[in-house]
Amino acid sequence: MGTRCHSRKWPPFSVFFVAQRIARQGGIPWVVDYRDLWTLSSYYLLGPVRRRVDRRFESRLLRTASVVTTTSQPFADEMYHAFSMRSEVVLNGSDPNDLAALTPASGERSGLPLRIDYTGEIYEGKRDPEPLFMALASMGLSPDQVLVEFHGNTMHFAQDAARRHDVERLVRCGPRVPHTESVTLQQGADVLLLLIWNDPGERGVYTGKLFGYLGARRPILMLGFPEGVAADLVRSRDAGVIANDPDGIAVAVRQWLVLKEETGVVPLLPETVSAGLTRQEQSDRLRVLCVSLISNCNQDVIHQ
């Protein structure tokens, strides 16, 4: 995978051209699957000239595809309006093997501190925890009450922000961890922090992390665009709190803290919180779509 500004990982879009050639040589339909958008992405950072060049390549490529799949309805709509392409939604999902490892005993940590966990990268000015640190600074808490843990490659952004708001004592930062360890950290936390850019450009962004969080069945504290698909999913599943102002964040943290003080645990969310959102179920949706394309292709050959 390639790396762009802010260490953000991007899929290798060049594989689409390989798939296009294979499909052309075999006379078969092919599907363009976008887990991240290409030239329509709000994170595209290579400049307007390069974007125009890439847009031409993308448009030419898509004219040969049978269908586009992407991760949300707003993204599907964007692809349709930009390229007049049939666009279908295939969500990201949680791993059933991760869900199988979760037990009530492993999901409840008794006693203080309240642990808020984030595993992933920080994008300063876009996806960053500064509003949370502002809230914590106003609450006058000790490390015995609340601890926020970060694991990733860009934790210096979190450390710098914590220092600016004088909450370093409440924050621990560590390096990026393997997936299995990340799952363990999420399942052992009291609250999971989800960072989404608070901008309309994030309207169609779920992030794969959200599905993993739902699989872990821990309450979610989401900072980010409140009218996007991620916020809608958190609300519809009653999976946590969406807040961006320090006062609102402080209210949510205080409620979890009181619960932790009074009962010793923040209970697991119900199993239904991740119903229908496993990777297997989303793969089945893609499989059905592919079977339909193959069937239509075979019918066209028969009619010829």
pLDDT band at 3 (very low <50, low <70, confident <90, very high): very low
82-96: average pLDDT: 90
**Residue 169: is its pLDDT beyond 70?**
yes
Q: What's the pLDDT at 302?
A: 41
Q: Are residues 125 and 60 in the same domain?
A: no
Q: Are residues 119 and 191 in the same domain?
A: yes
> pLDDT tens-digit profile of 111-157?
899 999 999 888 888 888 999 999 999 999 999 999 999 998 888 89
CATH assignment of the domain containing 68: 3.40.50.2000
> pLDDT tens-digit profile of 209-250?
999 999 999 999 999 999 999 999 999 999 999 999 999 999
Q: Are residues 151 and 199 in the same domain?
A: yes
Which residue range forms the structural domain that includes residue 296? 2-93+278-303
Q: What's the pLDDT at 110?
A: 66
Q: Are residues 84 and 175 in the same domain?
A: no
Q: What's the pLDDT at 104?
A: 46
Q: What's the pLDDT at 94?
A: 86
**Residue 10: is its pLDDT beyond 60?**
no
User: What's the domain count of the chain?
Assistant: 2
Rg (CA), the chain: 21
Q: What's the pLDDT at 66?
A: 92
Q: Which residues contact 26 (CB under 8 A, 6 or more apart)?
A: none
Regarding pTM above 0.75, the answer is yes
Q: Are residues 204 and 268 in the same domain?
A: yes
Q: Are residues 54 and 103 in the same domain?
A: no
CB 42 within 8 A of CB 62: no
- CA separation for the pair 103, 106 (Å, rounded): 5
Q: What's the pLDDT at 96?
A: 72
- CA separation for the pair 33, 19 (Å, rounded): 11
Q: Report the amino acid identity of residue 122.
A: I
Q: Are residues 88 and 216 in the same domain?
A: no
Q: Are residues 126 and 262 in the same domain?
A: yes
**Residue 76: is its pLDDT beyond 60?**
yes
> pLDDT tens-digit profile of 266-289?
999 999 999 999 888 898 988 998
Structure tokens at 157: 């952004």
Q: Are residues 131 and 103 in the same domain?
A: yes
Q: Are residues 54 and 128 in the same domain?
A: no
Q: Which residues contact 121 (CB under 8 A, 6 or more apart)?
A: 6, 7, 8, 127, 152, 153, 154
Q: Are residues 123 and 217 in the same domain?
A: yes
Q: What's the pLDDT at 111?
A: 81
**Residue 99: is its pLDDT beyond 70?**
no
- CA separation for the pair 195, 216 (Å, rounded): 17
Q: Are residues 159 and 85 in the same domain?
A: no
> pLDDT tens-digit profile of 250-259?
999 999 999 9
**Residue 8: is its pLDDT beyond 50?**
no
